[in-house]
Amino acid sequence: MLEGTLTGIYITPHSGAPLVDVSEVLAVPGLGLEGDRYYYERGSFSRWPGPHRAVSLIAEEDLALIRELSGISMAPQESRRNLLTRGVPLRELVKKEFVIGSVTLRGERLCQPCKYLARLLNEPELIPAMVNRGGIRARILTEGTIAKTDTIRLA
């Protein structure tokens, strides 16, 4: 059985601004995480709208591997992903429904690294280290509050 834990929640109301660590957040279908840039359609990639931008996840294990491969130590919020997980093979959640706390989501696609992130962090070597380790993007299917320490499981 696939099961893990949510260990961090990060949002920011503006594109390019530092992400802030919060203890809980309201997830709203069709909008995203309340208080986040994509909820307000202010994200760097909002000009290409779609439900796959609602929320992004990255695993602690992948951040450790990125650090090991590249020597780049990136704080979870520097990854620009909204949710930090532990114990969940995120790639296995693509095209599957899963639950965080009481909120149901659907993994839409891998969240591959981009030049925007490498440029923002001034780390060009980040891109090759993050390929297939950058987490996933997900669609929110049901409204509810997501909190740190919530369990993550298949729906």
pLDDT at 74: 87
Q: Answer yes or no: is pLDDT of 6 > 90.
A: yes
Q: What 3-state class would DSSP assign to 11?
A: strand
pLDDT at 59: 97
Cα separation, 149 vs 101, whole angstroms: 9
pLDDT digits (tens, 9 = 90+) for 15-36: 888 999 999 999 999 999 999 9
| Greater model confidence, 115 or 144 | 144
pLDDT digits (tens, 9 = 90+) for 79-111: 889 999 999 999 999 999 999 999 999 999 999
Q: Answer yes or no: is pLDDT of 126 > 60.
A: yes
Number of folded domains that form the chain: 1
Residue 42: alpha-carbon gap to chain centroid: 16
Q: What 3-state class would DSSP assign to 48?
A: coil
- When the pLDDT of each residue in the chain is averaged and rounded to a whole number, the result is 89
Which structural domain range is residue 57 located in?
Answer: 3-154
Four-CA torsion 76, 113, 80, 107, nearest 10 degrees: -90
What CATH number does residue 64 fall under? 2.40.33.20
Min mean pLDDT across 19-23, 34-38, 43-47, 51-55 is at: 43-47
pLDDT at 97: 97
